[in-house]
Amino acid sequence: MKKTLSALVSIALFAAMLLSCSGSSSTASSTAAAAPATAAPAPAPKDFSDVSIIFFPGGSEGDSFASVVYNGAVKAQGELGCKVDYMWSGWSPDKMVSQLKDAIAQKPDAICIMGHPGDTAMGPLIDQARQAGIVVTSQNSPLPVNEAKYKTEGFGYVGADQISAGETLGGEAIKRANLKAGDTAIVWGLKGQAGRGERTQGIINACQNAKLKVAYYEISDAVNADASQGTSVFAGFVAANPDAKIIFIDHGALTSTVGTYMKAAGKNPGDIYCAGFDLSAASVDAINSGYLGCILDQQPWLQGYLPIVNACLTVKYGFSGLHIDTGASIIDKSNINAIAPLAQQGIR
For residues 303 and 282, membership in a common domain is answered with: no
Distance (Å, rounded) from C-alpha 152 to C-alpha 147? 9
Same domain, 199 and 322: no
* Same domain, yes or no: 152 and 191: no
pLDDT band at 315 (very low <50, low <70, confident <90, very high): very high
pLDDT of residue 43: 61
Whether 2 is covered by a domain: the verdict is no
Give the residue from 237, 83, 96, 246 showing the smallest Cα distance to 169. 246
pLDDT, position 46: 77
DSSP letter for 267, please: -
Tell me the per-residue pLDDT of 241-278, one tens digit each, with 9 for 90 and over: 999 999 999 999 999 999 999 999 999 999 999 999 99
On the CB side of 41, CA atoms within 13 Å amount to: 3
Domain that holds residue 166: 162-297
Query: How many structural domains compose the chain?
Result: 2
Whether 168 and 208 share a structural domain: yes
User: Which residues make beta-bridge pairs with 188?
Assistant: 217, 249
Among candidate residues 189, 192, 142, the one with its CA nearest the CA of residue 166: 189
State mean pLDDT over 218-229.
95
Is residue 123 in some structural domain? Answer: yes
pLDDT of residue 184: 98
Is 63 in the same domain as 144? Answer: yes
Mean pLDDT in residue range 132-146: 97
Residue 7 lies in a domain: no
Task: Note the pLDDT of residue 64.
Answer: 86
**One domain, residues 131 and 103:** yes
The model's pTM is: 0.81
Average pLDDT of the segment spanning 1-7:
39
Which residues in 192-305 belong to E strands, given as ranges? 213-218, 244-249, 273-277, 294-297
pLDDT tens per residue, range 61-103: 888 899 999 999 999 999 999 999 999 999 999 999 999 999 9
Assess if residue 114 is contained within a domain. yes
Identity of the amino acid at 49: S
Instruction: Provide the CATH number for the domain around residue 116.
Output: 3.40.50.2300
Tell me which residue of 116, 50, 177 sits closest to 303, measured CA to CA: 116
